[in-house]
Chains A and B, each alone.
Chain A
């Protein structure tokens, strides 16, 4: 079998061996980083570039899908001037193969290129490349649209009953250890007046409670029994609910912060 010397543009890789010789596809030079530089396959074809296949044997250049790449073939050797897919800037190159086929971008998209030697006998003789083709006509994408505000984090009501309700839990054994400012929350007239004026009406008192964390709520309404079963991390703890959303977390540090929290869910 006649052996061909196939040289692809600037390729330094061992050229694929096909029946009857080699076919050379454009290859980027090896990256000069020791110890084992490896050539890089050319995978992009821009509008002003030429993708030249230089063959010592005749071959077919097939592209898919059609319409993205224009294929032209010449008998070599020939001299070509232009920008090459595996080069930089404008160059003049001489291709010495018997068939020199040039691929040019005429569309935009991913395109499969198959180089099929006419003497191919097995699938292994076929060379396949995938190219990102860009003919330059792709409209410039508009700038990223402004990011819409994050949707509100779902914060389901910890007490799934219509109306504003508040539960504060603390450890009465630690009451004398609480910081004075935080302790005031439990007894402050400002807080109590707000709760009395904003909380839903219960059977006998407004629906807010301030309890030791260990109380037995079995004598209370079911909604309070349910909220006592909700997970919590430590005390003092506050549960605020307006029936649609709410807050569960550590008790704020002072009356001012507590009032801000209450007003967030209970209104002014």
Chain B
């Protein structure tokens, strides 16, 4: 029920087995660090619009809605799997750097473009992380990168090659291109207490049931990933399908399922619209 063949299901019983992942013989890096509210107090991000109340979809409706989404193949994962002119949009690969927090946002932007039927553009999360961290390999959190993408956008790999940390990429042309890939609206409420950025599981599920991708930060994992689908892992038990940034070799084409307490993000923000562009 709900899971794809070969898809990892990480839950409260087996999470320790997956805390450190090895893909193709390489130990995967993550990079989430809890937000430092001393250096980044509430309200320091000015780019997000005012708070938006998220109507919560009652749990009583979840199972039926999920079944319908699966039957109609109308999940974000379905769109991702056909979003490159019928082919699969490849997973990002953070390639050993602690930039998961930039890749989770970038993956959300990528799937948003697919929803809008914008051409697939390989967006370079490294551009976001390198500028924020001054080209240092440092961790961060999802809201940090979403704020950046809302303000400056994320460039395509044509302007900032994937996994490149060259400062030569940081030029006017790159950021002109990045401006075509901005998040224009988001769910993060930056005007209230920081803990309100941490959407509850019900809110996250309501967003996913509505096909809004979510940037989810998981402290237990030290990792930030893009959340795509609501999943009913067993009757009445729910989890989330994630899109990781460890390439397509991880789990099922880069996607896996979290459930139980391991599915509740410690921080979550959700971009819901981006600028249409054909570049």
**Which A residues have a C-beta under 8 Å from some C-beta of B?**
172-173, 175-178, 180, 183-184, 186-190, 192, 195-196, 202-206, 208-212, 214-217, 219-221, 224, 255
Contacts and interface: CB of A to CB of B under 8 A. Distances in A.
A227 to B, nearest CB: 12
B269 to A, nearest CB: 14
Contacts of A178: 210
B159 to A, nearest CB: 15
Contacts of B119: 203-205
Nearest to A215: B276
Contacts, number: 107
Contacts of A211: 116, 273, 276
B12 interface: no
Contact of A205 (B74, B85, B206, B211): B85
A65 B76 CA distance: 85
Nearest to B74: A187
Contacts of B3: none
Nearest to B212: A175
21 contacts: A172-B212, A173-B272, A175-B210, A175-B272, A176-B209, A178-B210, A180-B65, A186-B211, A187-B72, A189-B72, A189-B74, A190-B72, A192-B82, A202-B278, A205-B119, A211-B273, A212-B272, A215-B116, A215-B275, A220-B277, A255-B72
Nearest to A193: B82
B226 interface: no
Most B-side CB within 10 Å, residue of A195, A206, A219, A224: A219
B25 interface: no
Interface string B184-206: 11000000000000000000001
B48 interface: no
A231 B124 CA distance: 37
Contacts of B116: 209-211, 215
Contacts of A172: 185, 212, 272-273
Contacts of B206: 176
A88 B79 CA distance: 85
B236 interface: no
A209 B69 CA distance: 20
Interface string B70-81: 001111101100
Given A176-B57, A196-B86, 10 more contacts: A175-B210, A175-B211, A176-B56, A176-B206, A176-B210, A184-B69, A187-B75, A189-B73, A212-B185, A224-B276
A163 to B, nearest CB: 15
Contacts of B184: 212, 214-216
B151 interface: no
A175 B271 CA distance: 12
B72 A210 contact: no
Nearest to A220: B276
Interface string B206-232: 110111100000000000000000000
Given A176-B210, A178-B210, A216 B275 contact: yes
Contacts of A175: 210-212, 272
B54 interface: yes
Contact of A210 (B65, B75, B115): B115
Contacts of B209: 176
Contacts of A208: 117
Contacts of B79: 187, 192
Contacts of B69: 184, 187
A204 B116 CA distance: 13
B87 interface: no
B55 interface: yes
Contacts of B82: 189, 192
Contact of A183 (B210, B274, B275, B277): B210
B117 A206 contact: yes
Nearest to A199: B117
Nearest to B279: A219
A208 to B, nearest CB: 6
